[in-house]
Amino acid sequence: MSALPVLSVKDLEVEFDTFGGVVRAVRGVSYDVHAGETLAVVGESGCGKSVTVQALMGLIPMPPGRIVGGSAKLKCQELIGLNQSQLNEVRGADMGMIFQDPMTSLNPTMRIGDQIAETLVVHRGLGRDAALAEAVRLLERTRIPEAAQRARQYPFEFSGGMLQRVMISMSLACTPKLLIADEPTTALDVTIQDQVLELMREIQREDQMAIVLITHDLGVVARMADRVAVMYAGEVVESGSVDDIFYRASHPYTQGLKEAMPDMHQHGKDRLEAIPGSPPDLFSPPPGCAYHPRCPHAMRICNRIDPSTYPVGDAHQASCWLLDEGAPGPAPVQGDRHAG
């Protein structure tokens, strides 16, 4: 693994002005991802997963959004603070993105081949004929049959799974160093989901891309990820390897996510254990640990002071007062009984 990460996000903070007040959507997020590595970012809806990557790509509307602190570097280039012209040079060329809904991400009035070719003309300086030929090759690489014919069709003539392959083709057109996949398998059936994930893994092995995978599906995480960052209320509360998160989870929120996941290996489990309560109001986040109102292990200190980030193991850390040396009793760590 390269010592220099492809993407390094440090203490990123993002806010939005609304009629109800200021929403603190991202509150000090930090993570790294290296070449050839997949980092999965997981958490409930509204926890800040997508806003984090949209901010570093310059995709949040400003106003009402604004980046109030932190850094995001692609290799050695700082992304925060770039103007739109500078971002346009980076987006598509050095970093690509697969959006959650391909139907709304593609132009319904343009042929598929033309949309892919446009990226090649802008970033690689190809002529129209050469760009269209390369677009067909990219469609073939993502296993779209009769690619030359398909390139002349419009988005409405494709299924959801085929459209997601088109989005992968477009995002890979300039062989980016970083690929951000925002819920890439949403609304796909299990068979097509499996094919899309396998395609992403195959292309990553060939090109040694870094991938940031945003998802709420722990099954996708288990299959795709090398490392995991668990987000809650705009913060990363635990990070580590896939094995750390699945078998040695140390934050009560991560444990709650695991308990809410179906487990075919856990006999006698008749019902899924939902996490009680609701995520906090980010107009006014609670003091201390944001998870404390829902945490079954909450202590008095949890609702007064933010927990530090404690090392749990090699490259495994969590932000929870239960990991402090002064906490009563051992910190709860998931064992084999939760293995999935």
CATH number, domain with residue 44: 3.40.50.300
User: Is there a single domain that holds both residue 170 and residue 73?
Assistant: yes
pLDDT of 336? 40
User: Is there a single domain that holds both residue 206 and residue 243?
Assistant: no
User: Is there a single domain that holds both residue 218 and residue 242?
Assistant: no
User: Is there a single domain that holds both residue 177 and residue 51?
Assistant: yes
User: Is there a single domain that holds both residue 241 and residue 260?
Assistant: yes
User: Is there a single domain that holds both residue 218 and residue 298?
Assistant: no
pLDDT at 286 over 70: yes
User: Is there a single domain that holds both residue 213 and residue 271?
Assistant: no
User: Is there a single domain that holds both residue 235 and residue 291?
Assistant: yes
Phi-psi domain of 117 (left: phi exceeds 0; alpha: psi -120 through 50; beta: other): alpha
Q: In whole angstroms, what is the distance from residue 294 CA to residue 233 CA?
A: 12
Which of 225, 247, 265 is where one domain is finished? 225
Average pLDDT over residues 192-204: 83
pLDDT of 334? 47
Q: Is 126 inside a domain boundary?
A: yes
- pLDDT tens digit sequence for 113-135: 999 998 888 888 888 889 999 89
pLDDT at 293 over 80: yes
Q: In whole angstroms, what is the distance from residue 279 CA to residue 119 CA?
A: 39
pTM as predicted: 0.86
User: Is there a single domain that holds both residue 280 and residue 219?
Assistant: no
Assign 37 a pLDDT band (cuts: 50, 70, 90): very high
How many folded domains does the chain comprise?
2
Q: In whole angstroms, what is the distance from residue 138 CA to residue 147 CA?
A: 9
Q: Please give the residue that has the higher pLDDT: either 93 or 166.
A: 166
User: Is there a single domain that holds both residue 280 and residue 187?
Assistant: no
User: Is there a single domain that holds both residue 38 and residue 119?
Assistant: yes
Instruction: Please write down the HEC assignment for all residues of 37-78.
Output: CEEEEECCCCCCHHHHHHHHCCCCCCCCEEEEEEEEEECCEE
Q: Is 1 inside a domain boundary?
A: no
pLDDT of 324? 86
Which of 175, 194, 225 is where one domain is finished? 225
Q: Is 2 inside a domain boundary?
A: no
DSSP string, 271-324: S--PPPS----TTSPPSS-TTGGG-TT--GGGGTSPPPEEEEETTEEEE-GGGS
Which of 225, 247, 279 is where one domain is finished? 225
User: Is there a single domain that holds both residue 94 and residue 187?
Assistant: yes
| 8, 33, 75, 152 from 3: Cα distances, Å | 12, 11, 11, 43
- pLDDT tens digit sequence for 315-334: 899 999 999 887 775 555 44
3-state DSSP assignment of residue 134: helix
pLDDT of 194? 82
pLDDT of 266? 59
Q: Is 113 inside a domain boundary?
A: yes
pLDDT of 267? 58
- pLDDT tens digit sequence for 242-284: 999 999 999 999 998 888 777 656 555 567 778 888 888 888 8
Residue 166: count other Cβ atoms within 10 Å of its Cβ: 25
Q: What are phi and psi of 90, to 5 degrees?
A: -90, -45
Domain extent for 279: 231-338
Q: In whole angstroms, what is the distance from residue 147 CA to residue 136 CA?
A: 6
pLDDT at 291 over 70: yes
| Rounded CA Rg of the chain | 21
